[in-house]
């Protein structure tokens, strides 16, 4: 039976666990410092921790549960890691270089059941949730890669936008956020962490009430129910009006900005009429909303969708701006590798069974 990842424990949980096993609080803070500041990969390297505590940790936990299976590096500095889990499953993690820092996109599930018709992540159905430790370790693996390069670089931002629906794995997601933003560890600021959801309305409310204080992004991708249901089957269960009610709850309670993600699909949702309808949908929320327009990365299995022409992207952007909507076009990363989320994993699994 596989042991639990030590990365799955928040500092408070580690303190409580060691206390139950006869060790005082300072011992937990020592271990925490070795994990996240010194970033050791073996309990035996924690040289100032008592041997009996080291053995206790070895008996119950592991530090490493992910092995690098494949790595793709883009000319723009983007690195896509394909990690193999202890059970043999594969997940993707992506390091992106921005002017503002180094951002890592993490995965929260093995596969995805949301079923967006344009997305490579959903080509393979969800088989399980990732543990909190498996999510945290994605950040640690990337940080260790940066440490080895000895350029004094540090992961500064996190986007939870990889394979899976984060809010469908809410408890482990929450633990992950509390671990990575802890000021005694990685100390990644809450304002530098963004969670993206396909629109689980009840979980948006739970997220709001949890006061995690990280940023929220909504995968909207269509301005009306008919179109959104066609490309995102989740809209059948949670139509736009119900989603917008949850968004209003978030905006009213937190007074924080929200990002509405909108993938532009050629001749599907990229017309001027769609932009005008989207502006109307944003409506009174425009003071706290930003629309992030995303050029589509084509996926072989979804050949019915193509990237919008640059002229259409510009026209859509201009239409929103003229309607007073804050918007941006996402800067692309890794276009010379398997750019679409889930694409590398899908290809590798096909090769292994083909």
Q: CB–CB of 69/84 below 8 Å?
A: yes
Instruction: Give the whole-angstrom CA distance, residue 235 versus residue 238.
Output: 5
Q: What is the mean pLDDT of residues 241-245?
A: 98
Q: What is the mean pLDDT of residues 58-72?
A: 96
pLDDT, tens digit (0-9, with 9 covering 90-100), for 126-174: 999 999 999 999 999 999 999 999 999 999 999 999 999 999 999 999 9
Instruction: Give the whole-angstrom CA distance, residue 13 versus residue 348.
Output: 36
92 is catalytic: yes
Of 53, 92, 116, 134, the catalytic one is: 92
Evaluate if residue 341 carries a pLDDT over 70.
Answer: no
Polymer length in residues for the chain:
354
In this predicted structure, what is the pLDDT of residue 119? 87
Q: CB–CB of 342/122 below 8 Å?
A: yes
Residues β-bridged to residue 223 = none
Evaluate if residue 339 carries a pLDDT over 60.
Answer: no
Q: CB–CB of 197/162 below 8 Å?
A: no
Of 105, 116, 327, 341, the catalytic one is: 341
pLDDT, tens digit (0-9, with 9 covering 90-100), for 218-236: 999 999 999 999 999 999 9
């Amino acid at each position: 039976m596989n042991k639990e990842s030590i990365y799955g424990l928040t500092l408070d949980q580690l303190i409580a666990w060691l206390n139950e096993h006869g060790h005082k609080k300072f011992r937990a803070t020592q271990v925490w410092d070795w994990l996240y500041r010194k970033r050791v990969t073996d309990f035996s390297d924690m040289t100032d921790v008592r041997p009996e505590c080291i053995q206790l940790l070895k008996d119950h936990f592991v530090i490493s549960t992910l092995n690098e299976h494949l790595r793709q590096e883009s000319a723009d500095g983007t690195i896509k890691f394909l990690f193999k889990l202890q059970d043999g499953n594969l997940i993707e993690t992506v390091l992106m270089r921005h002017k503002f820092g180094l951002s890592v996109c993490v995965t929260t599930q093995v596969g995805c059941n949301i079923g967006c018709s344009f997305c490579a992540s959903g080509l393979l159905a969800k088989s399980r949730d990732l543990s909190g430790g498996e999510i945290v370790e994605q950040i640690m693996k990337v940080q260790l890669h940066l440490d080895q390069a000895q350029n004094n670089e540090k992961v500064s931002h996190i986007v939870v936008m990889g394979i899976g629906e984060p809010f469908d794995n809410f408890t482990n997601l929450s633990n992950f956020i509390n671990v990575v933003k802890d000021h005694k560890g990685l100390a990644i600021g809450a304002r530098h962490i963004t969670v993206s959801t396909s629109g689980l309305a009840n979980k948006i409310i739970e997220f709001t009430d949890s006061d995690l204080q990280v940023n929220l992004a909504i995968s909207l991708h269509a301005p009306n129910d008919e179109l959104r249901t066609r490309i995102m089957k989740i809209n059948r269960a949670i139509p736009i009006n119900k989603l917008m009610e949850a968004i209003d709850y978030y905006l009213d309670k937190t007074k924080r900005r929200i990002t509405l993600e909108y993938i532009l699909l050629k001749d599907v949702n990229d017309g001027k009429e769609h932009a005008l309808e989207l502006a109307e949908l944003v409506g009174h929320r425009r003071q706290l909303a930003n629309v992030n327009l995303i050029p589509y990365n084509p996926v072989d299995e979804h050949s019915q969708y193509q990237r919008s022409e640059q002229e259409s992207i510009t026209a859509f952007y201009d239409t929103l701006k003229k309607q007073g909507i804050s918007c941006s076009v996402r800067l692309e990363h890794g276009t010379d590798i398997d750019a679409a989320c889930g694409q590398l994993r899908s290809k590798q699994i096909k090769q292994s069974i083909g």
